[in-house]
Amino acid sequence: MLNNSFFYFFTLSLFKNRKRYFAIVTISTLVIFLLSSVLFLSDSIKYSINSQLELEPDLIVQKRLGGRVVPLDESIVDTIAEIYGVSQVTKRVYGRYYFDKEYSALIFGVDFLDEQSSKALAKLLNREDLKRFLSSESMLVGEGVFNYFKSHFYPKAYNFLTPSGKIKSVKILKVLDRRSNLFSNNLIILPQELAKEILGLKSNEISDIALNVPNPDEAANIQRKLEGLFLNAFISGKREMQKEYENLFNYKGGLFLALYLIVVMTLSLILYQRYSLANSLEKREVAILRSLGWSIKDLLGLKALENIMLVLFSFTLGLFLGYLYVFILKAPLLSELFLGKNLQTQIEFLPHIDYLSLATIFILYATTFLSAVLIPVWRVATTEPKEALS
Amino acid sequence: MVVVEQLNRWYTIDKKRHQILKDISFHVKRGDFVLLRGVSGSGKTTLLSILAGLEKPSSGKVLIDGEPIAKLPDIHLSHFRAKKVGIIFQHFNLIDSLSLQDNVLVPLVALKIGLQEAKAMAERALKSANIAHKSEAYPTKLSGGEKQRGAIARAIVADPPLLLCDEPTANLDRANSLLFIDALHKLHQEGKTIIVATHDPIFDAIDFPHTIIDLKDGQIV
Amino acid sequence: MNPLFLNNQVIVYLFSEAALLALTILLFAKIVKFLWFWDFRSYSNRQLKLEKEAYLAMTIATLLFTLKSVLLIFFVHTIDKLSLIIPGAMCAAGVISANSYGMDLLFIKLTVIFTLLLFLIANSYDLQAKTYPLFRFKSWVLIIASGLIFIEFFLDISYFTHIDTSTPVSCCSALFGNLEGANPLPFGLDITKLLLLFYMLYLGTIIALTLETKTITLLTLLLFGVIAYYGVVYFFGTYIYELPTHKCPFCMLQREYYYVGYLLWGSLFFGLFFGVIWVIMSQVGYNITKAKWASMLLLTLFVALCSLYVAIYYSKNGVLL
C-alpha cells in the first residue's frame, strides 16, 4: 500500500482537491445526519419499549362484553392456576384516574400476598420499604404525577374522589425512579384494596389476570384452553403486543422514511447536476492524465476510489453527528415530533444502535450516491486526451 | 521508428467532410530529429496528436516502433503512450494542484511503478532537465522556462524512445527557447527520436543534422 | 396498505432495487446498440463512441455486481427481521416461504450475481487482448444478466405484495422437517445415500476439474450443488444447530451460530460459480487456471467445514445425532 504509486497519487489528489468536494460532503453529511437521527431515535424508543415488554406477563385474561373490558370475578384465578404449564398467575387491578380534563394517571394496585407476576413492578418495589407502604394508606407516584400534585399544592398527600363520592386521602411515599420514564411517568402505585376503592371495583372484582407460560411452545395451546374457560373471555399475548408495537413503529418510522426518499432523490439530482457540471479544470486534468498514459480504466478506478471515500467519510461524519444529537443533546425538536408534545414524558434515550438500521441507511445512501454520479463520472473519465493539446 | 502510410483525417460536420490531413506518408528512422513545419491550420498539431495516439486517424496506417496504433484498444494505447512517447505541450500542461515532482510522477503511476522507485526516477529526470532545485515548487510559482524544463523532465521520466513536441517555444522568450533547443540537442545525442511541430523561425538556425517535413493544407509539400 | 411497505428495510431494499433497475435498463439499451453496431475494424466516430460506452457498461456491471451482492445479504437479514411481524414465522425460512415467489427470487438473485461475475471475468480477459475477441460473448452475458435483473425486480415486487401479514406461515422446522413422514429428499434418497453421493460428487468434481474435462465438470458441479443444498439442510445443518430436528438453511446466518452460514453458503456458491465460469470460459477458448483453483479451493473449504461440524460434535459427545 505504502509503496503503491497509484494509492499515493490518489491520496494526494483527494487532499489537494478537498475544496472541490466541500459542497458535496456538506450536503451528504446533512442528509445522513437527518436520516440517522430519526432512526437512532426510533430504535432507541423501540428498544426501551421492547425491554419493558420483556418484563410483561406472557398472557393476559380479560372479560369483554360488547368490546368493553369489564371486571372479572376473583374466583376464576384458582381454576387457571390448575392448568398444567401455567405459572405466576396474578390478579391485577388497574385503571385510569382523571384529575381533570387534561390530566390523567394510571392507577395500579399491588397485592403483596400474591406472587408478583410483573417482574418490572417487583423491581420497583424491592427498593421501597414495604412495611411503611402497607401500614399506612400511601402511594408511589411517577414524576409526571408528582409534578402535577406539586403544582396543585398537594406536595405530601392527595385527596382522591372515589366513584361513590367519598374523599380518600393518600400519602405520597416516594417518587419513582426517573429511568424508563416511558412507562412510569404517569403511574400511581397503590395497595390493591385501596386501588379497588378508588377505581370503584367491588372487593371480589379484579381488572384482569396475568400469567406466564414458561415454555413458549405451549403458549398457543394454553391460550386455546383459556378461551374455553368462561364466556366472553379475551386472551391477549405478549407476542401480539410486540407485533403491534413493531407495526406502530414501522408506521412512524416508515412515514419518515417515505418523506426521506424524496430528500434522497433530491440529493441524487443535486449530485448528478454537480458532477455533470464538472468544471473545465477537472476535465483538463483528466485530459492531461490521459495524454500522459493513464487509461480510462485507471481513471475510472481513481474516480471510483474517490467517490467511495466521499461516501464513507460523509456517512461516518453524519452518523457521528446524529449520535451526538440524539444521545448527547437528547434530540431537541425531533423528539417532540416523534413522541408528541403533550405527552408529558421525560425520556432518557438509552444509547442503543441496531446494526441493521445502520446497514439500511448505508445501503440507501450508497446506492443513491453511486448510481447518481456514475454517468457523470464516466463522462469525465472518458474525456478525449487530445483536449490537452488545445 | 515511425511509419506513416496513406494517413487521412477528416471531420464530418453537418454531412460536410472537412479534410484535415490528406494522404500523408513518411518514415522516421530511430534517432532522427524531425522538424514538422507549417503555418497554423496546416494540420501539424493533428498529425502530432495522431502520432502520440491522442487522436485516431480516419484511415491509413500508423506504426510506432513496429506497433500499429491506429486501432488499439484504450488500455494498450494508454500503455503505449506512457512507455513509448514523451509529449511536450505548447502550454506545458502541468497540473497546478501538484508539486513539480508529483507532476513528473504521473506517467510512472500509469505504468504501475512502485512509489520508491518512481520517486527516484522522477528525481533523476528532474536533475537531467536541470530543474531539480524546484522539485517541491508548484507550477503557478514557476517561470515559463522553468515550467518548460519541468515538462521535459516529465516527458523523459519513463525513458521513452520517441519525443513529440507541439509548438514548444511558443510561450518562451528567445533565451529560454535557445536553452530548450540545447536540451533537445542533448536528448537527440542520447539517441532519442524527436519530432517537433513548430512554425518558430528560431529552429531554422539549428546546426545539427535534421530532417524537415513541410505541411500545407494537410498535405506534405 | 400492506404494513410491510412501511418497514424501513423493505422500503430501502425496494428503492435500491429500483435504482439498480434504472441502471440496468440503461445498460440493456447500450448492449443492444453494441450488438447491432459494433465493428472494431471501423474508424468511424460511432465506433469510437461505442468503445467509450463499453466502459460505461463495464462500470455499471461492476456497480451492479457489488450492490447486488450487498443487497442479497441485506435481503436475507430483512426477511429474517420480518419474521417478527409475520405470524408463525421464527426465522427467514418461514417468511421466504410465505408465498411461492420467495424461493424463486432467491435463486434468481444468485444467478444474477453469477452472470455478473462471469461478465467481469470475461471482460478483464477481453480488455487484455488487443482486438476485443470476447466482445460479443460478454455482451450476450450482459443481455442475459439484464434479463435476469428484470425478472428479479418483478419477483421482488410480487414477493412483497403477496405476503399476507394476517395468515400464519410455517416455521422452518415445519417446512424442512419430515413431520408428515414423507421423505423430503430428492431421487428417493435416504441420509446415508445422500452423504455417500455428497462426498462422491465432491471427489468427482475435483477430479473432473483436475483432468479439465468440461462436460463432466459441469455435470458434477450442478449435481453437487443440488446434493450439497440438501446435505446442508437435512444433515450438516443439524450439527451446526446441535439439534436433530432443526433443519433450516437460514438460521445459520444468525449471530447465534457465529454467522457461519455466510462462510458455508458463500464457499459453496462461489465454488460452484468459479467452476462453471471455468467451464464456460474454456468453451470460448480461455483456460483460466485461477478460476479452476478457486473453485477447487472453495469447494474443499465447504466440504471441510461441513465435515468439521460433524467431527467436532462427535468428539465432544461421542455419538452422532
**Each residue's pLDDT tens digit, C142-155:** 999 999 999 999 99
> 16-55 in A: which are within 8 Å (CB) of B?
16-17
Task: Note whether C125 contacts B: Cβ–Cβ < 8 A.
Answer: no
- Coil, helix or strand at residue A349: coil
DSSP per position, C31-79: HHHHHHH--TT--SHHHHHHHHHHHHHHHHHHHHHHHHHHHHHHHHHHH
List the grid coordinates of C216.
463432466
Picking from C16, C22, C26, the nearest residue to A363 by CB comes out as C16
State the pLDDT confidence band at A342, using cuts at 50, 70 and 90: very low
**pLDDT confidence tier of residue A128, bands split at 50, 70 and 90:** low
Considering the domain architecture, whether residues A190 and A266 belong to the same structural domain is answered as: no
Q: For C260-269, what is each residue's pLDDT tens digit?
A: 999 999 999 9
Q: What pLDDT, in 10s, does the model give residues B64-111?
A: 998 899 889 999 999 999 999 999 998 889 999 999 999 999 999 999
- Highest averaged pLDDT of the listed ranges A218-232, A236-250, C194-208: C194-208
Residues A285 and A201 reside in one and the same domain:
no
Quick check: A294 and B78 CB within 8 A? yes
Q: Which residue has the higher pLDDT, C102 or A335?
A: C102
Question: Is A174 inside any structural domain?
Answer: yes
Q: Grid coordinates standing for B196?
A: 517537433
Give the 3-state secondary structure of residue C178: coil
Residue B61 distance to chain C (closest CA, Å): 11
Residue B12: closest CA among chain C residues belongs to which residue? C45
End-to-end CA distance of chain C: 46
pLDDT of residue B137: 94
| Nearest-by-Cβ selection for A12 from B48, B77, B98 | B98
The residue among C258, C265, C222, C302 whose CA lies nearest residue C73 is: C265
Contact B102 A289 (CB under 8 A): no
Distances (CA, A) of A241 to A50, A232, A339, C84: 10, 20, 19, 11
What is the reported pLDDT for B118? 94
Output the pLDDT for position A171: 85
Closest chain C C-alpha to A123 CA, distance in angstroms: 28
Do A46 and A97 lie in one domain? The reply is: no
Whether residues A118 and A253 fall in one domain: no
Q: For residue A335, what pLDDT band results from cuts at 50, 70 and 90?
A: confident
Give the number of beta-carbon pairs within 8 Å between B and C: 22
CB contact under 8 A, C8 and A250: yes
Chain C CA closest to residue A243: C85
**C230 and C166 housed in the same domain:** no
Q: List the single residue in B74, B97, B110 with the smallest CB-CB distance to A292.
A: B110
Listed by number, the residues of chain B in 73-92 with a beta carbon closer than 8 Å to a beta carbon of chain A are: 74-75, 77-79, 81-83, 87, 89-90
Please give the share of chain C, as a percent, with pLDDT higher than 70: 96
Q: How far is C239 from chain A (nearest CA, A)?
A: 22
Beta-carbon contacts of residue B71 (< 8 Å; ≥ 6 apart): B56, C40, C41, C43
Contacts of C59 in chain A (CB under 8 A): 300, 304, 374, 377-378
Cell numbers for C294: 478457486
Q: In a 10 Å sphere around its CB, with 0-12 CB exposed, 13-18 middle and 19+ buried, how is residue A221 labelled? A: middle
List of residues 6+ apart from A22 with CB closer than 8 A: none
Is A262's Cβ below 8 Å from some Cβ in C?
Answer: no
Amino acid at C171: C
Same domain, C200 and C312: yes
- Give pLDDT tens digits for A292-313: 999 999 999 999 999 999 999 9
Structural domains in chain C (count): 2
Q: How far apart are CA C150 and CA A83, in angstroms?
A: 55
Least trusted range by pLDDT, from B42-51, C36-45, C55-64, C165-174: C165-174
Q: Which residue has the cell 396475568?
A: A210
DSSP three-state, residue A3:
coil
Q: Determine, for residues A5 and B109 on separate chains, whether the beta-carbon distance falls below 8 Å.
A: yes
pLDDT (mean) for A179-186? 63
pLDDT given for residue A180 in this prediction:
52
Q: How far is CA A262 from CA A259, A337, C15, in A?
A: 5, 19, 11
Please count the structural domains in chain A.
Answer: 2
pLDDT at A58: 81
B105 vs A: CB within 8 A: yes
pLDDT band for position C291 (cuts 50, 70, 90): very high
Whether C197 and C307 share a structural domain: yes
* A339 and A278 in a common domain: yes
* Chains with at least 3 CB pairs less than 8 angstroms from chain C: A, B
Q: What is the pLDDT of residue A106?
A: 84
- Between these two residues, C230 and A81, which has the higher pLDDT value? C230
| Neighbouring-strand partners of residue B37 | B198, B214
Of C6, C56, C70, the CB nearest to A363: C70
A259 and A342 in a single domain? The answer is yes
Q: Report whether pLDDT(A2) > 80.
A: no
Given an 8 Å threshold on Cβ–Cβ distance, is B70 in contact with C43? yes
pLDDT band at C175, cuts 50/70/90?
confident
User: Mean pLDDT, chain C, as a whole number?
Assistant: 90
Query: Which A positions 358-387 lie with beta carbon below 8 A of chain B?
Result: 384-386
Together in a domain, C110 and C249: no
Angle between helices A18-55 and A296-323 (to 10 degrees): 50
From chain C, the residues in CB contact with A246 under 8 A are: 84-85
- Domain shared by C299 and C246, yes or no: yes
Residues A86 and A17 in one domain: no
The pLDDT score that the predictor gives to residue A16 is 85
Q: Where do the domains of chain B lie?
A: 2-220
Cα radius of gyration rounded to whole Å, chain C: 22
Q: Which amino acid is at A200?
A: G
pLDDT score, position A344: 46
ipTM value of the model?
0.94
Q: Which residue has the higher pLDDT, C93 or A348?
A: C93
> Pick from A12, A298, A388: which is nearest to B93 by CB?
A388
Question: By the CB < 8 Å criterion, does A255 face chain C?
Answer: yes
Confidence of residue A87 (pLDDT cuts 50, 70, 90): confident
Q: Look at residue C53 and tell me whether its pLDDT is greater than 70.
A: yes
C-alpha cell at A7: 494509492
State the smallest CA–CA distance between residue B120 and chain A in angstroms: 12
Q: Looking at the complex, does the CB of residue B136 fall below 8 Å from at least one CB of chain A?
A: no
Tens-place pLDDT, residues A117-127: 445 555 566 55
**Based on the domain organization, do C76 and C138 belong to the same domain?**
yes
Say if CB A176 and CB A142 are below 8 A apart: yes
Q: Name the nearest CA neighbour of A45 among A141, A197, A181.
A: A181
Best interface-test mutation with A: which of B55, B58, B97 has the largest number of A CBs within 10 A?
A: B97
More confidently predicted of C14 and A278? C14
**For residue range A353-373, what is the model confidence (pLDDT) as tens digits?**
788 888 988 999 999 999 999
| Nearest C-alpha neighbor of C139 from the set C34, C280, C26 | C34
Residue of B45, B78, B147 for testing the chain A interface, max A β-carbons within 10 Å: B78
Residues B164/B87, Cβ–Cβ less than 8 Å = yes
Pick from A160-174, A299-313, B71-85, C44-58: least confident: A160-174
Tell me: do C216 and C288 sit in the same domain: yes
Tell whether C45 and C101 lie within a shared domain.
Answer: yes
Instruction: Please indicate, yes or no, if residue A238 is contained in any of the structural domains.
Output: no
Q: And the C-alpha cell for A353?
A: 444502535
CATH class of B2-220: alpha beta
Find chain C residues with C-beta within 8 A of A357's C-beta.
8
Give the whole-angstrom CA distance, residue B195 versus residue A363: 53
Contact across the interface for C19 and A251, Cβ inside 8 Å: no
Domain that holds residue A10: 5-51+244-388
Domain boundary among C151, C170, C189: C170
Helix (H, G, I), strand (E, B) or coil at B62: strand
Of B59, B74, B76, the CB nearest to C43: B59
Across the range C300-320, mean pLDDT stands at 92
Would you call A382 an interface residue with chain C, using a CB distance cutoff of 8 Å? yes
Residue B142 has pLDDT above 80, yes or no: yes
| % of residues, chain A, pLDDT over 70 | 85
| Chain A interface mutation, best of B36, B44, B54, B79, highest count of A Cβ atoms under 10 Å | B54
What's the confidence (pLDDT) of residue A303?
92
Average pLDDT, chain A: 81
CA distance A348 to A352: 12
Size of the A and B interface in Cβ pairs below 8 Å:
98
* Domain-embedded: residue A226: no
Predicted TM-score (pTM) above 0.80: yes
Q: How far apart are CA A171 and CA A155, in angstroms?
A: 9
Looking at the fold, whether C107 and C208 belong to one and the same domain comes out as no
SS (H, E, C) B88-104: ECCCCCCCCCCCHHHHH
- Whole-angstrom Cα distance, residue A308 to residue A301? 10
Residue among B21, B86, B110, B111 at smallest CA distance from B59: B21
| Chain B CB within 8 Å of residue A306 CB | no
Query: Is C188's pLDDT higher than 80?
Result: no
- The reply to whether C58 and C91 lie within a common domain is yes
At residue C185, the pLDDT reads 76
A295 touches C at CB < 8 Å: no
Same domain, C93 and C119: yes
- B74/chain A closest Cα distance in angstroms: 6
Residues recorded for chain C? 321
A230 occurs within a structural domain: no
Q: What are phi and psi of B34, to 5 degrees?
A: -115, 135
DSSP string across A106-139 = EEEEE-TTS----HHHHHHHHTS-HHHHHHTTEE
Residue A255 above 80 pLDDT? no
List, in sequence order, every residue forming a beta bridge with A90; answer none if it has no partner.
Answer: A210
Q: Write the pLDDT tens digit of every residue in C95-133.
A: 888 888 999 999 999 999 999 999 999 999 999 999 999
CA-closest candidate to residue C260, choices C268, C252, C248, C250: C252
Task: Give the A window 350-379 contacts with C, CB below 8 Å.
Answer: 356-357, 359-360, 363-364, 366-368, 370-371, 374-375, 377-378
Q: Do A360 and C15 touch (CB under 8 A)?
A: no
Highest mean pLDDT: which range of A79-88, A253-262, C211-220: C211-220
Cell of C188: 428417493
Interface of C with A in 4-63 (CB under 8 A): 5-9, 11-13, 15-16, 19-20, 22-23, 26, 52, 55-56, 58-60, 63
Domain that holds residue C8: 3-170
pLDDT band, very low/low/confident/very high, at C51 (cuts 50, 70, 90): very high
pLDDT attached to residue A112: 65
Residues C161 and C297 in one domain: no
Which residues lie across from A69 on neighbouring strands? Answer: A64
In this complex, which of C41, C45, C130 lies closest to B73 when CB atoms are compared? C130
The band of A48, judged by pLDDT with boundaries at 50, 70 and 90, is confident
d(CA B188, CA C257): 70
Please give the share of chain B, as a percent, with pLDDT higher than 90: 69
Regarding predicted confidence, which is higher, A149 or B196?
B196
- The pLDDT value recorded for residue A253 is 65
Confidence band of A97 (pLDDT split at 50, 70, 90):
confident
